[in-house]
Amino acid sequence: METDEPQLPFSDPIQQRYELIRPLLLDPERTATQRAQETGTHPETVGHLKRRFAQQGMLGLLPATQEVQPVRRSLRVPDVVVHELQRLKGLYTGFGARELARILFHTTMHRLTGQTARRLWERLQLAAPPPRPLLDYHSHPARTQARQEVITLYAQGWSKRSISQFLQVSRPTINLWLTRFERDNAASLADHSSAPHTPVRKVWLPVRLEIYHLQKRHPDAGGFRLWSLRGKTDLSVRTVERIMALNRQVYTDIPGTERLHAAPVPPQPHPFKATAAHEYWFIDGRMMDFALQGHRWWSLIILDGYSRTMLAGAIAPSEASWVALTVLYTACQRYGLPVHLISDSGGAFISDAFEGVCTRLGIDHRTIVSTQGQSYMNLMETHFHMQRRWYDYQLALSETPQELDAAHQRFLALYNSTAHYGLLQEQFASPIPLHVLGASKGRWVPPQELTRKFAHALFIRTTNRYGCVTLHRSHFYVDQGLPQAPVLLWVAGEE
């Protein structure tokens, strides 16, 4: 049986290592220990080489100190791309990978990826500077050329950061010129005057004095009349009107400007300012702005002057005394009697029946006669604006008197349960009228006594099974009445 020579005469270390493990590769039954004894090599060395060969092939037999680098695939790019990269590298070295690919596409019309452009950039050597002088933004002989250079580089794919560092110009300046170029094209590159673009001032002191003297001679004339009196067209009518308004504030001798220069009058307290609940009640009526079944109905409401609570209200086809008595009776039945009752001089409130009830109840009824705008004293008149703006649309949707009355009662409940701006200004703990009113009551009167006070104009009756009532042996049918229901009757005059 032949055996391998102990010495392996090979000068190449890779070939020598391969011959050391070749018998083990050909005969898997042989062990590394047997081969080590045959060659005089340590068994671990043989086993280590065998394992590396199994994992890496011939590369596993190389010495550990030797680095293996794969052969790179040559990049096939046109010479024009290489020359352009060489030129760019001589100009500026701070380009990004995608920026290089974008510039190469705009200048050579060859599309490359950012990674390919970066690999080509790294392989190229730093080139000599180009023959033309490198001028930054501030070194160009003409400002137009410097701005043109910014636009050109940006159009070629340069980023604003690269342009800023290459031309030594700030990025806000670059943004300014790019924005102007997008708006005005090439005209934006030229120098523009920094003078203000406001129109020439035409209104000087002589012009104001001229109009001032015209105002003194013609204090009631308007802007167009004074403009025509000047006989000049250098100023518009609106400008003349503004000069007139300014003169009224400056000059005190122009007729009709006394109120503008008068000392401000301190605000006076309300003549019926309430300091407690049920001190002042206000009653008033308002004709609705819409018609129901061809007729415009009225809304009558009583308001407490302290808490701004609407105590009672009713809807009626007219502002009659019986409606006012109905509302007053309901309010007195719920909250007692007030100290003062304020109303205007409407026929329903100055009637003998209404005045008689107030006298019998001991209520101080004060009537406001409005000759110079004193109607503001009646708080209920001003509060009707809330009803008009807030709930007139809902009230106008009613189709029958019953629906209108139900909507009117919903308005009273909604108003009393929402915040009131006047209460907020007076710094109440809660600006809601019902919260301010609380459980306070006016002067209490027993129900029988209250009914007796209203008895001269009010009769309490109960309808029979036919919906009729009897008054002084006369039978009257109650319209929309229910059988066996208590009703209140008012008798007006001889009716």
Helices (H), 218-297: 223-230, 237-250, 258-261
Residue 197 placed within a domain: no
CA distance 123 to 50: 39
Residue 378 placed within a domain: yes
pLDDT of residue 18: 84
Q: Are residues 221 and 150 in the same domain?
A: no
- Residue 204 amino acid letter: W
Residue 263 placed within a domain: no
Q: How far apart are the first and last CA of the chain?
A: 156
Helices (H), 319-362: 321-335, 352-361
Of 348, 344, 345, 331, the C-alpha closest to 277 is 331
Give me the domain span that covers residue 36: 13-61
Q: Are residues 152 and 187 in the same domain?
A: yes
Give whole-number Cα distances, 375 to 251, 271, 313, 346, 378, in Å.
35, 12, 20, 12, 6
Q: Are residues 284 and 433 in the same domain?
A: yes
Report which DSSP code applies to 212: H
Q: Are residues 125 and 139 in the same domain?
A: no
Sign of the Cα torsion 98, 101, 105, 108 reads positive
Q: Are residues 221 and 120 in the same domain?
A: no
Helix/strand/coil for 395: helix
Q: What is the DSSP string of 90-125?
A: HH-S---HHHHHHHHHHHH-----HHHHHHHHHHSP
Q: Are residues 327 and 292 in the same domain?
A: yes
* Burial call 183-222: b when 16+ CB within 10 Å, e when fewer: eeeeebbeeeeeeeeeeeeeeeeebeeebbebbeeeeeee
Residue 6 placed within a domain: no
Q: Are residues 422 and 303 in the same domain?
A: yes
pLDDT of residue 127: 62
Q: Are residues 319 and 423 in the same domain?
A: yes
CB-based contacts of 41: which residues, under 8 Å, 6+ apart? 20, 35
Q: Choose the final residue of a domain: 229, 250, 271.
A: 250
Residue 267 placed within a domain: no
Residue 309 placed within a domain: yes
Q: How many domains does the chain have?
A: 6
pLDDT of residue 493: 46
CA distance 433 to 418: 7
Pairing of strands 468-471, 310-316: unpaired
CA distance 478 to 486: 11
What is the CATH classification number for the domain harbouring 154? 1.10.10
pLDDT of residue 494: 42
Token representation of residue 93: 């070295």
CA distance 302 to 283: 4
pTM, two decimal places: 0.52
Helix/strand/coil for 211: helix
Residue 242 placed within a domain: yes
- CB 309, CB 278: distance < 8 Å: no
Q: Are residues 235 and 164 in the same domain?
A: no
CA distance 111 to 105: 5
What average pLDDT values come out for the chain (495 residues) when binned by 10 residues? 49 80 83 84 85 82 70 72 86 88 89 87 71 60 80 88 88 87 80 74 91 94 94 93 95 90 84 91 93 91 94 89 88 94 90 90 90 79 89 93 92 94 91 93 90 71 69 57 66 47
Of 138, 148, 175, the C-alpha closest to 160 is 175
pLDDT of residue 130: 57
Q: Are residues 426 and 289 in the same domain?
A: yes
Q: Please name the residue that has the structure tokens 């208590």.
A: 486
CA distance 414 to 408: 10
Q: What angle do CA 104, 108, 114 make, to 5 degrees?
A: 25
CB-based contacts of 334: which residues, under 8 Å, 6+ apart? 311, 312
Q: Are residues 299 and 432 in the same domain?
A: yes
pLDDT of residue 1: 39
Q: Are residues 141 and 127 in the same domain?
A: no
Residue 239 placed within a domain: yes
Pairing of strands 340-344, 280-287: parallel
Of 489, 468, 485, the C-alpha closest to 477 is 468
